């Protein structure tokens, strides 16, 4: 089977996952007790006619199964309805605006986590002994760190005390680069805008480091275990017996320990996106996570539902990338 | 009877603390026990009420002998708030862990043992939910239900049922092929007897490991919910919420409002993670989402 | 006799484990001549693999060479640096192992694994040159050159062992160490691999040091045999003599334990268990299991009794010799 067909099959398999998650979200948002319309309008008295009017406008007066399919049809068209609080604002447009910020943050954090994980894990596997134990402790502590706490501590050190880096935001608003991809780093490089690049980078450092460190714990652990195993393995002994330099033996062992690491990347996706919500809130990073939390506080249920459904789609689609990478690394996997 | 139970419990603990992973298990248990004692004895340990400004206390006082963790913007004693806050987080997490276990373990047992279309459907639902970011699902549920400790526990339950389900089911699938289970089936033992009397006790170590690791994760998710104001309402003492309000004063240099609640979250989560890690080493069980 | 290529003197290799010091090789002397096939025979745990691998300076942790020397072509391997050893390995001494599946990197094509070592030793000038040498090596061992682009999992067990041999001989080494090369293979494939090795020995003048527990196989293929027991070579001599008229009671028991299709002789297994290498018995290490043991065997290390073409470490070697 070709890689293209493999991707196509995986895409088909994503459909049930997205449907299941959509259904769960729908049940949570529309079936659980609570009157979203009343909640959205706050504690003040609102005449019942007005409530009914808003309900009808949002389609909340129809039977549940009709709502279920109408929303699903909207999702396929890229229409997630209208904000309940900010009247006239399309939820889909808002989410589209916020998405690049989240993508930029998660990509950077992912890179940081994998680099830290490989460096610490490799050191532990190669050195062994006390270093190995220290890295093991690092792995557990990094994993149990509460993201806002780590983020705020970094802000305290680097923004408040050392005054080196900004404490929040995504870029100095004066320097926003021309919009090409929506990723400020990429856009500023494409347009050759160095001031924008510098500003975007200095804003990205702390959030990416925060989320990256917390996620790195699991990579440290998995690299540590599997690299140590690979270095002791028979094929590594055979490489050495053929007179290969230790650096090359290490390189091949690293590649072999990539296989479980990619599996972990799949499992970590959820942590990456969940962590992004906390990181964005901590650093006032204007992404999907901040959007979600902000709208939760406004009790803007259509926006919350839209954001959660979009997260579900992102998780499902990204899992395909993981599968493809997996198949590319390991020739034993048949696709 | 009480004494007998207690000494038996101590015997089990002593067995876990020895052998592989024992140091981690012991450290984890010690941390959890410490926080449990703090939560129970909060009225006696906390020097001041958590939501009243003690006489003579200044606003935003840095840590001192009188206020070891400083005071917040309203002059409340941060240490006392941490002590009382331990009650909230432990209550939510233990309640949610027990509820997740009560739902996830039986479903995993039945699903794994009987198989069939129900198993396939449940697996698909649980796998989808498992792959979804827990904190986002918890936010969605908690935001609909409104802020309260019980609602937060329900939100966490939705997140952690899949973890218990998946690990239990996987263990049942392993055990189903064991000769002693096959022998019992051949002798015509009813399914529920095999499940409850023979499979469940053998799956217990796995469930215990999941309890440790999932609870560590649940503490962080709970902290996230409370950070977003979805567990308690200010001025109720609550670690995550205190951290949220404290961050407004960080730029003025009041680090203690953030540091101490966050460090408490880290330490408690670490306690459960070490317990789970130690137990998984002891019983040779591979951990859940942690890899 | 031909020139000596490997000369082992008083070699001691110990493993420092948590449960004690394992004396895997405990005072071994051997001289291996260029172009001959020497087989080290022994039960598992006798130290035979450790001895063979130490002939290329390969000692796996937690093992250490604690005494003696290994002269390879006049150079003491125990005195070489890691880098000097590395340049020797693969180029002048090759090795193949028991389970070819485990000893090949599952993620890389077999050709690239061979070519990489060729490049590493600076024999090939370019990557395509190295690849050509790898393909030639594969052809030599009877694997079509086209299989160079295959991954290990796409080959059969026998083919994998051939690939391992190709990797070991690609640079035309003087010595090939073969650690139980056929144990993991089925009988027919076994015979073909042995035939291949025999051909390499004859045509290329390759010196082969094979390790096996199968004394019948050793008798068929080797020029000389070293019988190992609990870290020591207890008997050494030409294959015909060792099999035909063993001097050491252990060798005789090993031969008697081989099932024989043609004779009706009852197969006897050796009574007792191999000794714990952390606490070898006093005196002659075989005495607890030896039918001939007397008081002296318990207290004193037996002397090396010479025969025409070798020796045995046994008080009775002189008398027992030849008698069956």
φ, ψ dihedrals at A287, nearest 5°:
-110, -165
CA distance C203 to A141: 62
| pLDDT at res. B286 | 57
d(CA C112, CA B92): 57
Task: Identify which has the larger pLDDT, B177 or A99.
Answer: A99
- Counting residues of chain C whose pLDDT is more than 90, the rounded percentage is 51
Query: Please, is C18 exposed, middle or buried when counting C-beta atoms within 10 Å of its C-beta (0-12, 13-18, 19+)?
Result: exposed
**Residue A170 shares a structural domain with residue A32:** no
Cβ-proximal residues to B164 (8 Å cutoff; 6+ apart), any chain? B100, B101, B103, B104, B105, B108, B207, B210, B214
The pLDDT of residue B282: 83
Residues from chain B that touch A316, judged by Cβ atoms under 8 A, are 131
Residues 6+ apart with CB under 8 A from A191: A177, A178, A180
Chain A: closest CA distance from residue B225 (Å): 10
Q: What is the pLDDT of residue A293?
A: 92
Which residues in chain C are contacts of A256 at CB distance < 8 A? 105-107
CA atoms within 13 A on the CB side of C318: 5
Same domain (yes/no): A107, A244: yes
Task: Tell me the CA end-to-end span of chain B in Å, nearest whole number.
Answer: 41
Q: B277: which chain A residues are within 8 Å (Cβ-Cβ)?
A: 140
Q: What is the pTM of this model?
A: 0.84
The residue of chain B nearest to residue A265, with distances taken between CA atoms, is: B291
Against chain C, the chains showing at least 3 CB pairs within 8 Å are A
Q: Which residue of B has its CA nearest to A289?
A: B136
Q: Does residue A92 belong to any structural domain of this protein?
A: no
- For chain C, the C-alpha Rg in angstroms (whole number) is 20
Query: Are residue A50 and residue A186 in the same domain, yes or no?
Result: no
Tell whether the model's pLDDT for residue B100 goes beyond 70: yes
Residues A119 and A176 in one domain: yes
> From the CB coordinates, do chains B and A have 3 or more pairs under 8 Å?
yes
Domain ranges of chain B: 9-285
| Whether residue A274 sits in one domain with residue A174 | yes
Residue B103 and residue B112: Cα distance in Å, rounded?
Answer: 14
Chain B residues within 8 A of A109 when measuring between CB atoms: none
Furthest-apart CA atoms within chain C: distance in Å:
67
Looking at residue C267, what is its pLDDT?
64
A262 and A157 housed in the same domain: yes
**Average pLDDT along chain A:** 87
B216-275, pLDDT tens digit by residue? 999 999 999 999 989 988 888 999 999 999 998 988 889 999 999 999 999 999 999 999
The more confidently predicted of residues A209 and C265 is: A209
Q: Is residue A333 part of a domain?
A: yes
Q: Do A141 and B270 touch (CB under 8 A)?
A: yes
> Does domain B9-285 fall into CATH 3.40.50.11810?
no
Kindly tell me if the per-residue pLDDT of C225 is higher than 90: yes
Contact (Cβ atoms closer than 8 angstroms) between residue B248 and residue B254: no
Q: Does A128 touch chain C (CB under 8 A)?
A: no
Q: How many CB atoms lie within 10 A of CB B288?
A: 21
Q: Note the pLDDT tens digit of each residue in A144-157.
A: 999 999 999 999 99
Among C77, C76, C166, C90, which Cα is nearest to C123's? Answer: C90
Q: A238 to each of A210, A241, C51, C58, how far by Cα in Å?
A: 41, 5, 17, 10
Chain C contact for A329 (CB, 8 A cutoff): yes
B259 has a chain A CB within 8 A of its CB: yes
| Cβ neighbours of C156 (radius 10 Å) | 10
Number of structural domains found in chain A:
2
Handedness of CA A91, A96, A98, A103 (dihedral sign): positive
| Residue whose token pair is 């072999």 | A256
List, as one string, the DSSP characters of B213-246. HHHHHHHHHHHHHHHTTSS--TTS--HHHHHHHH
Check CB contact under 8 Å for B133 and A270: yes
Q: Could you check whether the bond before residue B94 is cis, i.e. omega within 30 degrees of 0?
A: no
Instruction: Give residue A124's domain range.
Output: 98-287
Q: Are residues A278 and A317 in the same domain?
A: no
pLDDT at B84 over 80: yes
Mean pLDDT over C129-155 rounds to: 92
**Residues in chain B closer than 8 A to A28 (CB atoms):** 137, 140-141, 144, 158
Interface test with C, best of A231, A242, A249 (most C CBs within 10 A): A242
Nearest to B136 among A17, A273, A297 (CB): A273
* A149 and A76 fall within a common domain: no
Q: b vs e for A188-197, b when ≥16 Cβ sit within 10 Å of the residue's Cβ?
A: bbeeebeebb
| Residue C100 and residue C157 in contact, taking contact as beta carbons nearer than 8 Å | yes
**Is the pLDDT score of C323 beyond 50?**
no
Which of A14, A137, A149 to mutate against chain B (most B CBs within 10 Å)? A149
Mean pLDDT of A206-213: 96
The C-alpha atoms of residue B107 and residue B170 are separated, in whole angstroms, by 12
* CA of residue C21 relative to chain centroid, distance: 23
What pLDDT was estimated at residue A334? 65
Q: Do chains C and B touch (3 or more CB pairs under 8 A)?
A: no
pLDDT over 70 for what percent of chain A?
96
Mean pLDDT value across residues A51-78? 82
Query: Can you tell me the distance from the alpha carbon of C8 to that of C28, in angstroms, rounded to the nearest whole number?
Result: 7
Q: Which helix (H) or strand (E) holds A324?
A: helix A301-329
B140 and A25 in contact by Cβ < 8 A? yes
Any chains having at least 3 CB pairs less than 8 A from chain A are B, C
CB pairs under 8 A between A and C: 73
Residue of C nearest to A241 (CA): C89
3-state SS record for chain C: CCCEEEEEEEEEEEEEECCEEEEEEEEEEEEEECCCEEEEECCCCCCHHHHHHHCCCCCCCCEEEEEEEEEECCEEHHHCCHHHHHHHECCCEEEECCCCCCCCCCCCCHHHHHHHHHHHCCCCCCHHHHHHHHHHHHHHCCCCHHHHHCCHHHCCHHHHHHHHHHHHHCCCCCEEEEECCCCCCCHHHHHHHHHHHHHHHHHHCCEEEEEECCHHHHHHHCCEEEEEECCEEEEEEEHHHHHHCCCCHHHHHHHHCCCCCCCCCCCCCCCCCCCCCCCCCCCCCCHHHCCCCCHHHHHCCCCEEEECCEEEECCCHHHHCCCC
Distance CA C122, CA B199 (A): 60
Which pLDDT score, from 0 to 100, does residue C263 have? Answer: 63
Edge to edge, what strands does the sheet with C207-212 contain? C93-96, C175-179, C207-212, C37-41, C224-229, C232-238, C310-313, C304-307
Identify the CA nearest to B205 among candidates B5, B51, B19, B4. Answer: B19
Are residue A250 and residue A116 in the same domain, yes or no?
A: yes
Chain C residues with CB within 8 Å of chain A CB: 56, 58, 60, 86-91, 94-95, 97, 99, 102-108, 116-117, 120-121, 151, 153, 164, 167-168
What the block records as the tokens of C227 is 């019988």
Contact A244 C117 (CB under 8 A): yes
Q: Is A119 left (phi over 0), alpha (psi -120 to 50) or beta?
A: alpha
Mean pLDDT calculated for residue range A208-215:
96
Return d(Cα B147, Cα B161) in angstroms, integer.
21
Query: Confidence class of residue B289 from pLDDT cuts 50, 70 and 90?
Result: very low
Q: What is the mean pLDDT of residues A55-68?
A: 80
Angle at CA of residue C80, ends C75 and C82, nearest 5°: 140
List the beta bridge partners of residue C224. Answer: C38, C238
Question: Per-residue pLDDT tens for A282-297?
Answer: 999 999 999 999 988 8
Strand arrangement of the beta sheet that strand C63-72 belongs to = C20-33, C4-17, C63-72, C75-76
Please give the share of chain B, as a percent, with pLDDT higher than 90: 49
Q: How far apart are CA C186 and CA A153, in angstroms?
A: 63
Instruction: Answer whether residue A191 is part of any domain.
Output: yes
CB A212 within 8 A of CB A120: no
B216 chain-A contacts, CB cut-off 8 A: 144
Alpha-carbon span C264 to C267, nearest angstrom: 9
Contact A152 B216 (CB under 8 A): no
Both tokens of residue C57? 């300076």
Cα–Cα distance, C138 to C159 (Å, whole number):
10
Which chain C positions have a beta carbon within 8 Å of A259's beta carbon? 107
Residue B250: closest CA among chain A residues belongs to which residue? A156
- Residue A91: inside a domain, yes or no? no
Q: How far is the alpha carbon of A323 from chain B, nearest alpha carbon, in Å?
A: 14
For residue A70, the SS3 value is helix
Which residue in chain A has the smallest CA separation from B291? A264
Strand C20-33 vs strand C4-17: parallel, antiparallel, or unpaired? antiparallel
How far away is chain C from the Cα of A251, in angstroms, using its nearest Cα?
12
Is residue B71 within 8 Å of B61, Cβ to Cβ? Answer: yes
Distances from the Cα of B217 to the Cα of A140, B162, B269, C112, angstroms: 12, 13, 7, 44
The enclosing domain of A208 has a CATH number of 1.10.3720
Q: Which residues are CB-neighbours of A122 under 8 A, at least 6 positions away?
A: A223, A227, A250, A254
Tell me which residues of chain A, numbers 191 to 230, contact chain C at a CB-CB cutoff of 8 Å.
none
* Angstrom distances, CA of residue B77 to CA of B57, B66, B68, B240, B268: 8, 9, 9, 16, 21
The answer on A229 and A172 residing in a single domain is yes
Asked if residues A27 and A68 have their Cβ atoms less than 8 Å apart, the reply is: no
Q: Express each pLDDT in C226-249 by its tens digit.
A: 999 999 999 999 999 999 889 899
How many whole angstroms separate alpha carbon C24 and alpha carbon C66? 11
Q: Does A234 touch chain C (CB under 8 A)?
A: yes
Q: Evaluate whether residue A115 is within a structural domain.
A: yes
For residue C261, name the pLDDT band (cuts at 50, 70, 90): low
Residue A12 lies in a domain: yes
Q: Is residue A293 part of a domain?
A: no
Cis peptide before B235 (omega within 30 of 0): yes
So what's the pLDDT on residue B291?
35
What average pLDDT score do residues A19-28 get?
86
Spatial separation of the C-alpha atoms in residues A199 and A176, rounded to whole Å: 9
Cross-chain Cβ contact B289/A270 below 8 Å: yes
The answer to which of B185-189, B242-246, C126-130 has the lowest mean pLDDT is B185-189
Do A111 and A28 share a domain, yes or no? Answer: no
Whether residue A221 contacts residue A142, with contact meaning beta carbons closer than 8 Å, is answered with no
C85, C141, C153: which is closest to C114 by C-alpha?
C141
pLDDT of the residue at C321: 45
A106 and A23, same domain (yes or no): no
Q: Does the pLDDT value for residue C322 go beyond 50?
A: no
Parallel, antiparallel, or unpaired for β C63-72 and C4-17?
antiparallel
- Please tell me what DSSP assigns to residue A29: I
User: Among candidates A282, A232, A230, A286, which has minimal Cα distance to A260?
Assistant: A230
The pLDDT assigned to C324 comes to 39
Indicate the Cα dihedral angle B211, B216, B219, B225, nearest 10°.
Answer: -100
Chains A and C: 3 or more CB pairs within 8 Å of each other:
yes
The phi, psi pair for C292, rounded to 5°, reads -100, -5
Residue A55 in contact with partner chain C when CB distance is under 8 A: no
Does residue A45 lie within any of the structural domains?
yes
Contact A36 B144 (CB under 8 A): yes
Tell me what the mean pLDDT of segment B51-74 comes to. Answer: 85
């Amino acid at each position: 089977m070709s890689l293209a067909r493999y991707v196509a099959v995986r895409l088909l398999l994503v459909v049930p996952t997205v449907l299941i998650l959509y259904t769960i979200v729908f049940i949570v948002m529309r079936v659980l007790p609570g009157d979203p319309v009343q909640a959205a309008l706050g504690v003040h008295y609102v005449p019942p006619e007005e409530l009914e009017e808003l309900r009808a406008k949002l389609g909340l007066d129809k039977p549940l199964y009709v709502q279920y399919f109408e929303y699903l049809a909207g999702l396929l068209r890229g229409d997630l309805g209208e904000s309940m609080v900010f009247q006239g604002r399309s939820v889909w447009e808002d989410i589209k605006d916020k998405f690049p910020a989240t993508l930029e943050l998660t990509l950077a954090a992912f890179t940081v986590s994998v680099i830290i994980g490989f460096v610490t894990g490799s050191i532990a596997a190669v050195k062994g002994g006390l270093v190995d134990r220290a890295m093991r402790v690092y792995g557990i502590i990094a994993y149990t760190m509460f993201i806002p706490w780590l983020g705020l501590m970094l802000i305290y050190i680097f923004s408040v005390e050392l005054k080196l880096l900004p404490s929040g935001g995504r870029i100095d608003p004066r320097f926003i680069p021309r919009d090409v991809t929506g990723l400020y780093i990429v856009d500023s490089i494409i347009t050759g805008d160095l001031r924008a690049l510098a500003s975007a980078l200095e804003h990205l450092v702390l959030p990416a480091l925060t989320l990256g460190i917390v996620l790195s714990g699991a990579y440290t652990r998995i690299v540590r275990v599997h690299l140590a195993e690979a270095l002791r393995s028979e094929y590594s002994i055979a490489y050495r017996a053929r007179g290969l330099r230790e650096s090359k033996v290490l390189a091949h062992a690293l590649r072999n320990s990539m296989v479980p690491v990619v599996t972990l990347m799949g499992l970590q996706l959820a942590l990456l996106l969940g962590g992004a919500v906390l990181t964005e809130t901590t650093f006032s990073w204007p992404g999907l996570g901040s959007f979600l939390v902000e709208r939760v506080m406004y009790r803007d249920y259509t926006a919350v539902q839209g954001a959660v459904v979009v997260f579900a789609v992102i998780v499902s689609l990204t899992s395909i990338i993981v599968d493809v990478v997996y198949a590319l690394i390991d020739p034993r996997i048949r696709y | 009877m009480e004494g007998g139970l207690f000494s038996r419990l101590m015997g089990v603990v002593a067995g876990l603390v020895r052998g592989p992973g024992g140091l981690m298990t012991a450290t984890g248990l010690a941390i959890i026990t410490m926080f449990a004692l703090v939560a129970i004895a909060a009225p006696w340990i906390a020097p001041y009420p958590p939501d009243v400004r003690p006489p003579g206390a200044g606003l935003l006082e840095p840590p001192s002998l009188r206020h070891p963790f400083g005071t917040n913007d309203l002059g409340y004693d941060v240490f006392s708030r941490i002590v009382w806050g331990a009650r909230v987080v432990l209550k939510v997490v233990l309640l949610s862990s027990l509820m997740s276990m009560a739902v996830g373990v039986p479903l995993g047992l039945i699903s794994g043992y009987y198989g069939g279309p129900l198993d396939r459907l449940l697996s698909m639902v649980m796998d989808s939910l498992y792959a979804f970011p827990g904190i986002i699902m918890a936010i969605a549920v908690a935001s609909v239900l409104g802020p309260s400790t019980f609602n937060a526990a329900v939100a966490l339950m939705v997140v952690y049922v899949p973890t218990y389900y998946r690990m239990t089911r996987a263990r049942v699938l392993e055990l189903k092929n064991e000769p002693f289970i096959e022998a019992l089936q051949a002798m015509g033992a009813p399914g529920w007897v095999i499940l409850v009397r023979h499979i469940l006790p053998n799956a217990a170590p796995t469930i215990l490991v999941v309890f440790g690791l999932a609870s560590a994760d649940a503490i962080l998710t709970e902290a996230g919910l409370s950070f977003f104001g979805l567990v308690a309402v200010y001025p109720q003492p609550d670690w995550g919420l205190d951290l949220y309000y404290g961050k407004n004063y960080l730029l003025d240099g009041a680090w203690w409002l953030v540091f101490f609640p966050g460090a408490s979250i880290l330490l408690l989560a670490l306690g459960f993670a070490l317990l789970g890690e130690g137990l998984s080493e002891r019983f040779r069980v591979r951990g859940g989402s942690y890899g | 006799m031909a020139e000596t290529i490997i000369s082992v003197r008083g070699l001691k290799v110990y493993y420092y484990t948590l449960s004690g010091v394992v004396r895997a090789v405990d005072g071994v002397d051997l001289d291996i001549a260029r172009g001959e096939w020497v087989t080290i025979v022994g039960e598992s745990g006798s130290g035979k693999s450790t001895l063979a691998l130490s002939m290329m300076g390969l000692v796996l942790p937690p093992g250490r060479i604690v005494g003696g020397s290994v002269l390879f072509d006049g150079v003491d391997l125990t005195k070489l640096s890691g880098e000097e050893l590395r340049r020797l390995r693969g180029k002048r001494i090759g090795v193949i192992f028991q389970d070819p599946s485990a000893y090949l990197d599952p993620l890389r094509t077999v050709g690239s694994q061979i070519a990489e070592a060729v490049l590493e030793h600076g024999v090939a000038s370019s990557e395509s040159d190295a690849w050509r040498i790898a393909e030639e090596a594969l052809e030599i061992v009877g694997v079509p050159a086209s299989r160079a682009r295959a991954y290990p999992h796409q080959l059969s067990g026998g083919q994998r062992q051939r690939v391992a041999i190709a990797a070991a001989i690609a640079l035309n080494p003087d010595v090939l160490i073969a650690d139980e090369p056929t144990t993991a293979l089925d009988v027919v494939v076994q015979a073909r691999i042995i035939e291949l090795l025999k051909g390499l020995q004859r045509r290329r003048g390759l010196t082969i040091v094979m390790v096996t527990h199968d004394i019948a196989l050793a008798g068929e293929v080797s020029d000389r045999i070293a019988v190992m027991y609990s870290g020591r070579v207890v008997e050494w001599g030409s294959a015909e003599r060792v099999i035909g008229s063993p001097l050491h009671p252990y060798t005789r028991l090993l031969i008697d334990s081989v099932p024989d299709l043609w004779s009706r002789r009852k197969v006897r297994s050796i009574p007792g268990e191999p000794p714990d290498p952390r606490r070898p018995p006093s005196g002659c290490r075989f005495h607890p299991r030896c039918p001939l043991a007397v008081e002296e065997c318990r207290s004193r290390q037996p002397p090396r009794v010479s025969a025409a073409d070798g020796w045995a470490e046994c008080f009775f070697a002189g008398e027992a010799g030849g008698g069956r």
